[in-house]
Amino acid sequence: MNIGMIADMAEEFGVSKPAVQGWMRQDTFPRPVARLKAGKVYDLDAVARWRKRRIHARRAELDRLEGSL
């Protein structure tokens, strides 16, 4: 399992820490695998799968909207 915290996710996915915090507010975002004094720890592979599904869903929605124009 590839694990990490907010800073690790930001680095792994090339986004800012506030962007990751925004993802974490989504109901569908993977739950932490551990909670340490330093913060929550996540399965980065699960986060990558979540991102991929989210990107595909957004693209499908854009295609649907463009098709209705």
pLDDT digits (tens, 9 = 90+) for 8-35: 999 999 999 999 999 999 999 999 999 9
At 69 the pLDDT is 66
Mean pLDDT, the chain, whole residue set? 92
From the candidate CATH numbers 1.20.120, 1.10.1660, 1.10.520, 2.60.120, the one assigned to the domain spanning 3-67:
1.10.1660
- Kindly list the domain boundaries of the chain, sorted by start residue: 3-67
Report whether pLDDT(64) > 90. no
Q: Number of H helices and number of E strands within the chain?
A: 3, 3
Whole-angstrom CA distances from 13 to 10, 46, 50 are 5, 13, 12
